[in-house]
């Protein structure tokens, strides 16, 4: 179902410059049937202001290359479905569990490793929260809840409040972590109600943003991040290393500095998870290592994200050196 904020990027990219951008992104309408294009106004603003519009547009525009089926690339590259402890709970890692809290996003990123994920079967939606609470009550070693999805901030603040009201009954839960792209792709989501909800939480609060290129940091995105910081949220960022988007050290170094300026620390730089229909984003390992070595030379340690790879079945993300 179309959400009110969702905008057809294609429509925003009309006219001569739009045509050029579509060409740069290898735009293909048919690829929309493989994974629906979903975008926001803020993204189109970012594209218009970008030094390198390609770096943004390729993240969101369906491309011809998505029709290629590549050997070795999978529907579920990180083994999420095998790690489901029960409906909506992915319990792979020690001390923390991930809740698949929502099945939609404000944007659909073409390289998403969950682009084929059957959310409807696996969602921790409201009617099975009780089962989630029961599971967590039995697992007192879990101290951190990661709200993920898709994007958990597609839930209304009212729904989030109802969920955290239940979670706050569990004394062993100390930290609430949110994995979301909202602060940058739909900064309006960080509204007064949402900030009041954050203030009300009895947890340490962490927001892991997802920003791949400095050009995504629009003025409004910066304002939202600033507000989150003022409301006591620890701000981190994860990026994915993507061919044709950020596969060079200069862009990534610039991103780290731009994040720091907004009070966000670079956390992870993920190697691309080999999801089917998106192989054209993959960066060769030797190239990734080369880029990372250059980042290490140019960045202070605290601005160097950890280069990691998700290996299905492993108990943590695997560092890549």
Ligand X SMILES: *Cc1c(COP(=O)(O)O)cnc(C)c1O
State the binding string over 142-161 for ligand X (x if CB under 6 A, else -). Answer: ----x---------------
**Is 210 an interacting residue with respect to ligand X (CB under 6 A)?**
no
Would you say 58 or 114 has its CB closer to ligand SF4? Answer: 114
Please choose which of ligand X, ligand SF4, none residue 129 contacts, taking the beta carbon within 5 to 8 angstroms, the exact cut-off set by kind. Answer: none
Among 90, 176, 198, 259, which residue sits at the site for ligand X (rule: CB under 6 A)? 90
Among 64, 87, 93, 303, which residue sits at the site for ligand X (rule: CB under 6 A)? 93
What is residue 227's three-state secondary structure? helix
Q: Nearest 5 degrees, angle CA 14-CA 18-CA 24? A: 145
Give dist(CA 36, CA 252) in Å, integer. 28
What is residue 308's three-state secondary structure? strand
Beta pairing class for 84-86 and 89-90: antiparallel
Question: Going along 109-252, which residue ranges are E strands?
Answer: 144-148, 175-179, 204-210, 234-240
Please choose which of ligand SF4, ligand X, none residue 181 contacts, taking the beta carbon within 5 to 8 angstroms, the exact cut-off set by kind. Answer: ligand SF4
**Is 181 an interacting residue with respect to ligand SF4 (CB under 6 A)?**
yes
Taking the mean position of all CA atoms in its chain, how far away is CA 200?
25
Q: Are 281 and 244 in contact (CB under 8 A)?
A: yes
Query: What part of residues 150-169 is at the interface with ligand SF4 (CB under 6 A)?
Result: 150-151
Give dist(CA 250, CA 266) in Å, integer. 15
**Is 317 an interacting residue with respect to ligand X (CB under 6 A)?**
yes
Would you say 210 or 222 has its CB closer to ligand SF4? Answer: 210
Would you say 105 or 299 has its CB closer to ligand SF4? Answer: 105
Contact window for ligand X (CB under 6 A) among 25-33, 90-98, 240-248, 289-297: 90-98
**Is 105 an interacting residue with respect to ligand SF4 (CB under 6 A)?**
yes
Would you say 185 or 299 has its CB closer to ligand SF4? Answer: 185
Structure tokens at 317: 């993300």
Would you say 132 or 150 has its CB closer to ligand SF4? Answer: 150
Query: What part of residues 114-143 is at the interface with ligand SF4 (CB under 6 A)?
Result: 114
Would you say 98 or 249 has its CB closer to ligand X? Answer: 98
Would you say 136 or 208 has its CB closer to ligand SF4? Answer: 208
Please choose which of ligand X, ligand SF4, none residue 92 contacts, taking the beta carbon within 5 to 8 angstroms, the exact cut-off set by kind. Answer: ligand X
Give dist(CA 195, CA 231) in Å, integer. 7
Beta pairing class for 175-179 and 144-148: parallel
- What are the backbone dihedrals phi and psi of residue 241, each rounded to the nearest 5 degrees, phi first? -75, 115
Would you say 22 or 317 has its CB closer to ligand X? Answer: 317
Q: DSSP secondary structure string, 27-88?
A: B-GGGGGTS---B-HHHHHHHHH-SSHHHHHHHHS-BGGGG---TT-BSSTT-TGGGEEETT
Give dist(CA 292, CA 299) in Å, integer. 10
C-alpha torsion 74→242→52→39, nearest 10: 40
Structure tokens at 113: 């490793």
To ligand X, the closest distance from the beta carbon of 167 in angstroms equals: 16
**Is 98 an interacting residue with respect to ligand X (CB under 6 A)?**
yes
To ligand X, the closest distance from the beta carbon of 119 in angstroms equals: 15
Residues found near ligand SF4 in the complex (CB under 6 A): 105, 107-109, 112, 114, 149-151, 181, 210
Residues found near ligand X in the complex (CB under 6 A): 90, 92-93, 96, 98, 146, 316-317
């Amino acid at each position: 179902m179309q959400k009110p904020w969702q905008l057809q990027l294609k429509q925003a990219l009309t006219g001569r410059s739009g045509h050029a951008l579509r060409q740069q992104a290898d735009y293909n309408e048919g690829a929309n049937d493989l994974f629906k294009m979903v975008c926001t106004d803020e993204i189109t603003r970012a594209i218009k202001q970008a030094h390198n519009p390609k770096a943004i547009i390729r993240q969101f525009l369906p491309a011809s290359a998505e029709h290629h089926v590549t050997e070795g690339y999978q529907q579920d590259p990180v083994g999420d479905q095998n790690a489901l402890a029960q409906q909506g709970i992915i319990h792979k890692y020690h001390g923390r569990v991930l809740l698949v809290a929502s099945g939609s996003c404000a944007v659909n990123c073409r390289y998403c490793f969950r682009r084929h994920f059957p959310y409807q079967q696996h969602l921790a939606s409201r009617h099975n929260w009780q089962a989630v609470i029961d599971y967590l009550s039995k697992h007192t070693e879990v101290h951190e809840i990661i709200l993920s999805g898709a994007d958990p901030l597609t839930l209304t603040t009212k729904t989030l409040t109802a969920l955290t009201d239940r979670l706050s009954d569990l004394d062993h839960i100390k930290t609430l972590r949110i994995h979301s792209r909202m602060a940058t792709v739909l900064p309006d989501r960080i509204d007064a109600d949402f900030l009041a909800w954050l203030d009300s939480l009895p947890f340490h609060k962490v927001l892991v943003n997802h920003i791949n290129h400095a050009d995504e940091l629009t003025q409004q995105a910066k304002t939202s991040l600033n507000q989150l910081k003022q409301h006591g949220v620890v701000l981190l960022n994860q990026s994915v290393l993507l061919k044709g988007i950020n596969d060079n050290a200069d862009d990534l170094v610039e991103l780290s500095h731009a994040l720091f300026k907004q009070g966000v620390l670079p956390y992870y730089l993920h190697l691309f998870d080999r999801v089917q229909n998106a192989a054209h984003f993959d960066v060769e390992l030797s190239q990734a290592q080369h880029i990372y070595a250059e980042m290490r030379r140019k960045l202070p340690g605290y601005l160097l994200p950890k280069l990691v790879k998700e290996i299905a079945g492993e108990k943590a993300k695997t560092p890549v050196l």
